[in-house]
Structure 1
Amino acid sequence: MTTRVLRAIDRFHSVHPWDHNAHYHRWIMRQIPRRFDSALDIGSGSGDLARLLATRAAAVRGLDADRAIVAKARKLTSPAVPVTFTAADALTEIPPGPYDVITCVATLHHLPFTRALTHFRRHLAPGGTLVVVGVARAASPGDHLLGAAAIPLNIAMAWIKNKGRRAPRPDSMTAPTRPATMSFAEIVRDARRVLPGARLRRRLFWRYTLVWRERPARRPYTSP
């Protein structure tokens, strides 16, 4: 693809932006139980997913390293909604759990991959569910093909969501971002070492998904 085309796409999206991560929120909700006690949303941004999780959970924690976006999330959240937002480091300052559901959207590529997944697993309750929507580096022919296919769909989605009008940029995250360094193949390899049986899939709009369920703790055997 030529540089001229890429620049034209960037100009279009500066006028018609939309949130690629929020596009997957409803998919995330289909991966988790209808009712559960506690959830943790890592990289919670302005809190849209955390508030959505609160429609099913008794209590939700939203965690983000960006203090400004945490302050915004608090302002956007009604006191009646059972969500607490905390500005903290996802590797060292996760509030005590365990959690029945842990979500992590477009944040994992900012963290040491294996260490982060290991840490999240420790905070998951027996029988709990970890759901990740992540960003991978395009490396294989399949990655590039899916990325190319996403371009016209991406433009169509931006036009539909904004109804052809100029729209403000999504402000769900204000902290600096960085490109992904791991390919999808590397992500699959390393994730399954930490989370045996994890389900991973490439997705449209330059994302991949990971779903893993912790096995419930076995009850100790007692003789009759």
Structure 2
Amino acid sequence: MPFDHNDHYHRLLLRRLPPHCAAALDVGCGTGRFALRLAHLGMEVDAIDPSEDAITEARERSDRMGGGRSPRFQHADMTEVELPQARYDFISCLAGIHHMPFDTVAALRDALAPGGVLVILGCYPEKTRLDWAWSLAAVPVNAVARAAVAARERVRTDSAATRRGEVKAPVRQPVMPLAEIRREAAVLLPGCTIRRLLFWRYLLVFRNHG
């Protein structure tokens, strides 16, 4: 299996969970890896993705893992879903916001319960010298990480990932520059923080203080 940049940041995102988190939403859940991690922490999890194949794989993965709670996986387009107001203590979106209009974050904001947290692991295109500097810094680290994952998978020859092909979520290249993301987020998610991450990602964190 290749080194997965989104999976690499799961622990970073989980550190943003608010205390006593009971209900979570994972937007663009793909094959369900992060949604399952949330569910195994004991919370109720809704997970949606526009790819029917990805949702099928997510449900099968949940069945194979068993134990604990299972996320409620839904095949749906986030832009066509009416989310319940003030429902979720935690909302995550991993490498998915660039698949939809950025102002979709307003619906996610409104679905947060008081004290709830929205985390977006986003992608952005290289447009500036600083963007390219971060990109170049990521290349050697990425190569080492990929080699380590490949070596581990060669050892785990009996793993399910080796025995069967895994569905891949649809890929779309990001087009919204990081500077524009910062401007839009400042209006739609006042008080949010955005910082660059290695591996061509940024982390946006917004807390509902209402």
Residues 33 and 170 (structure 1 numbering): CA distance in 2 closer, same or farther, change over 3 Å? farther
| Corresponding position: 1:42 with 2:27 | yes
3-state SS of the aligned residue for 1:36? coil
Give me the TM-score of the superposition, normalised by structure 1.
Answer: 0.82
Q: What is residue 45 of structure 2 aligned with on the other side?
A: 60
Instruction: Name which of 168, 171, 189 aligns with 1:173.
Output: 168
Offset of 1:47 from its aligned partner? 0.8
What whole-Å deviation, never above 9, does each CA across 1:172-214 have from its counterpart, x for those lacking one? 6332x22111111110111111011110011100001100000
Partner Cα separation in structure 2 for residue 79 and residue 173 of structure 1:
24
What whole-Å deviation, never above 9, does each CA across 1:153-181 have from its counterpart, x for those lacking one? 00001011222767979946332x22111
In structure 2, stretches of 5+ residues that fail to align are 155-160
Partner Cα separation in structure 2 for residue 159 and residue 36 of structure 1:
36
Instruction: Name which of 73, 84, 93 aligns with 1:104.
Output: 93
- Measured on the aligned residues, the alpha-carbon RMSD in Å equals 2.1
Q: What is residue 177 of structure 2 aligned with on the other side?
A: 183
3-state SS of the aligned residue for 1:163? helix
8 Å CA contact retained: 1:64, 1:87: yes
Number of residue pairs the alignment of both structures matches: 199
* Paired AA for residue 140 in structure 2: P
Residues 30 and 204 (structure 1 numbering): CA distance in 2 closer, same or farther, change over 3 Å? same
8 Å CA contact retained: 1:61, 1:84: yes
8 Å CA contact retained: 2:30, 2:55: yes
Q: How does 1:109-120 map to 2 (within 5 A)?
A: 109-114=98-103, 116-120=104-108
3-state SS of the aligned residue for 2:3? coil
| Corresponding position: 1:81 with 2:76 | no
Partner Cα separation in structure 1 for residue 151 and residue 19 of structure 2:
32
Offset of 1:53 from its aligned partner? 0.9
Q: What is residue 27 of structure 1 aligned with on the other side?
A: 12
Instruction: Name which of 56, 79, 97 aligns with 1:91.
Output: 79
| Corresponding position: 1:215 with 2:200 | no
Offset of 1:54 from its aligned partner? 1.4
In structure 1, stretches of 5+ residues that fail to align are 1-15, 217-224
| Corresponding position: 1:131 with 2:125 | no
3-state SS of the aligned residue for 1:86? strand
Give me the TM-score of the superposition, normalised by structure 2.
Answer: 0.87
Moved more, 126-135 or 75-84: 75-84
8 Å CA contact retained: 2:191, 2:206: yes
Offset of 1:100 from its aligned partner? 0.7
8 Å CA contact retained: 2:30, 2:49: yes
3-state SS of the aligned residue for 1:150? helix
What whole-Å deviation, never above 9, does each CA across 1:120-172 have from its counterpart, x for those lacking one? 11111111000000001111111100000100000001011222767979946
8 Å CA contact retained: 1:88, 1:94: no
Identity %: 37
Q: What is residue 11 of structure 1 aligned with on the other side?
A: none
* Structure number with bigger Rg: 1
